[in-house]
């Protein structure tokens, strides 16, 4: 039973890098069910952790945390450092993905400590690489860069192409946040050569990140055609499966940022929008209320996510004409609470082809006193509620 559980556990790694979340969950549940029949064991502890971190992407966080707690409890009771390091790594990744930074950092630091005691450099790279990304999402780019440099040096000594590629991805993330686009492009070239060097290396999430970051770098260098080509390739890969790792958030965001920026540029070029500076407080609350709600998959913060939400705060409403001036912000409020925005010039009409993409900004009159909306919907009648069958 335990041998079969280990076999299915190994398959989960294959499915993870192939970005097949449903198949990952299937293999993880099979591994856990087989391990449970044998009673407490390192395989069972690893099975609990594996199912916990995968369910976190469904997402069912209460169930995921319950499995993670069971995994940690069993791992600490077992005298098996290798299983303990694996459990701490998976649960640390789960907590990092939902923004529990302190808890995740504590678990990953224990992974690093155990890996050093065991002399397991591969597990050490896993712990340090994920810890580096925690510092990235917390805004400590200097420490993130240092840790990725350590992982890169370790992976190069062991000729580990996969961890070298992960370390290069982390360095590109930092270059982009610093505005260092030439070094970022050089690092992306290295990353591409690493992926070409090892033909057996399969990591769909890393490939998506590569194209997302290429799109952003070319965009920042005003290289529009390469930026659009990279974004199209990345979007085609994204369409095949849902995200399976919080590490890929910057890559996914890069593709969205590229499309939105090019769309805004097209409107400026074709419609002759006038550029002006507005204060963020002038943006109508109703237009950005829905899009700025927390993402249910996990509240892990992405440094560039605010830029996209603040830059395009209005939800498109297909099929409705534009009823008033349209403003599309093109930069986040990184200084002084101000953004650069666009609006149609005097007397310019928005073409019908763009109406469904832009949506209206409704200039509603203020609601009457004591009412939250000038035309509230009537309350539902009793007849509108479904009847409950009494014979069930």
Domain spans, the chain: 1-101, 120-195, 203-282+338-345
Residue, of 369 and 339, whose pLDDT is higher:
369
Q: Do domains 1-101 and 120-195 have the same CATH topology?
A: yes
**Phi and psi of 278, rounded to 5°?**
-125, 160
Cα atoms found within 13 Å of the Cα of residue 122, Cβ hemisphere only: 6
Residue 319: left (phi > 0), alpha (psi -120 to 50), or beta? left
Helix (H, G, I), strand (E, B) or coil at 376: coil
CA distances from 30 to 16, 25, 73, 143, 371 (A): 15, 9, 21, 39, 55
State pTM to two decimals.
0.69
**Any bridge partners for residue 339, and if so which?**
278
Q: Are 241 and 167 in contact (CB under 8 A)?
A: no
Q: How far apart are the first and last CA of the chain?
A: 42
Query: What confidence category does residue 231 fall into, taking pLDDT thresholds of 50, 70 and 90?
Result: very high
pLDDT above 50 for 69 = yes
Distance CA 133, CA 120 (A): 20
pLDDT computed for residue 123 by the predictor? 94
What lies within 8 Å, CB to CB, of 248 at 6+ separation is: 205, 206, 208, 209
Round to whole Å and give the CA distance between 236 and 228. 12
Give pLDDT tens digits for 235-267: 998 888 777 778 888 888 999 999 999 888 877
Segment 16-37, tens digit of pLDDT = 777 777 888 888 899 999 998 8
Give CATH for domain 1-101. 1.25.40.10
Instruction: Work out the angle at residue 98's Cα, subtended by the Cα atoms of residues 93 and 102, and round it to the nearest 5 degrees.
Output: 70
In this prediction, residue 73 carries a pLDDT of 95
pLDDT surpasses 80 at 379: no
pLDDT band for position 367 (cuts 50, 70, 90): low
Q: In whole angstroms, what is the distance from residue 272 CA to residue 172 CA?
A: 35
Packing angle, helices 204-220 and 249-271, rounded to 10: 40
Question: Which residues are CB-neighbours of 263 under 8 A, at least 6 positions away?
Answer: 357
CA distance 283 to 15: 44
Superfamily of domain covering 120-195: Tetratricopeptide repeat domain (1.25.40.10)
Q: What are residue 360's phi and psi, to 5 degrees?
A: -90, 155
Question: What mean pLDDT, rounded, does the chain reach?
Answer: 76
How far is it, in rounded angstroms, from Cα 323 to Cα 46?
57
Q: Determine contact, residues 254/216, Cβ cutoff 8 Å.
A: yes
Residue 343 β-bridge partners:
274
Spatial contact of 42 and 54, defined as CB atoms under 8 Å apart = no
Q: Please check the confidence at residue 213 and state whether its pLDDT lies above 90.
A: yes
Q: CA angle at residue 239 from 230 to 232, to 5 degrees?
A: 20
Q: How far is CA 184 from the centre of its chain?
A: 20
Residue 249 vs residues 183, 254, 255: alpha-carbon distances, Å: 21, 9, 10
For a pLDDT cut of 90, what percent of the chain falls above it? 46
Identify the pLDDT of residue 311: 46
Per-residue pLDDT of 147-162, as tens digits, reads 999 999 999 999 999 9
3-class secondary-structure state, position 275: strand
Asked whether residue 189 carries a pLDDT value surpassing 90, the answer given is yes
Mean pLDDT of 340-360: 40
**Is-contact 104 96, C-beta < 8 A?**
yes
């Amino acid at each position: 039973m335990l041998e079969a559980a280990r076999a299915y556990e190994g398959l989960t790694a294959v499915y993870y890098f192939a970005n097949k979340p449903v198949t990952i969950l299937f293999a993880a549940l099979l591994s856990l069910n087989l391990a449970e029949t044998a009673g407490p064991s390192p395989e069972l502890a690893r099975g609990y952790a594996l199912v916990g971190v995968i369910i976190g992407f469904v997402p069912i966080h209460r169930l995921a945390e319950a499995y993670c707690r069971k995994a940690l409890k069993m791992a600490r009771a077992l005298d098996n450092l290798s299983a303990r390091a694996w459990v701490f790594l998976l649960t640390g990744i789960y907590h990092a993905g939902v923004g529990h930074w302190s808890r995740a950092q504590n678990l990953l630091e224990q992974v690093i400590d155990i890996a050093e005691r065991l002399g397991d450099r591969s597990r050490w790279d896993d712990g340090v690489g994920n810890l580096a990304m925690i510092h990235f999402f917390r805004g400590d780019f200097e420490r993130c860069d240092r840790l990725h440099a350590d992982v890169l040096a370790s992976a190069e000594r062991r000729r580990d192409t996969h961890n070298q590629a992960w370390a290069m991805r982390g360095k590109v993330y930092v270059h982009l946040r610093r505005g260092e686009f030439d070094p970022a492009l050089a690092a992306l070239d290295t990353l591409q050569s690493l992926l070409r060097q090892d033909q057996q290396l399969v990591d769909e999430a890393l490939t998506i990140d590569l194209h997302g970051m290429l799109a952003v770098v070319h965009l920042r260098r005003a290289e529009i055609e390469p930026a659009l080509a990279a974004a199209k390739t990345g979007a085609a890969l994204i369409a095949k499966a849902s995200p399976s790792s919080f590490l890929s958030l910057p890559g996914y965001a890069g593709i969205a940022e590229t499309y939105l920026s090019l769309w805004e540029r097209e409107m400026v070029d074709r419609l002759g929008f006038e550029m002006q500076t507005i204060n963020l407080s002038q943006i109508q609350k109703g237009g950005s209320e829905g899009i700025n709600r927390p993402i249910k998959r996990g509240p892990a913060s992405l440094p560039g996510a605010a830029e996209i939400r603040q830059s395009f705060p209005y939800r498109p409403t297909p099929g409705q004409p534009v009823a008033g001036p349209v403003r599309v912000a093109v930069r986040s409020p990184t200084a002084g609470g101000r953004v650069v925005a666009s609006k149609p010039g005097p007397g310019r009409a928005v073409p019908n082809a763009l109406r469904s993409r832009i949506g209206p900004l409704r200039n509603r009159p203020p609601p009457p006193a004591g009412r939250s909306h000038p035309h509230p919907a009537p309350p539902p009648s009793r007849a509108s509620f479904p009847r409950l069958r009494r014979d069930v």
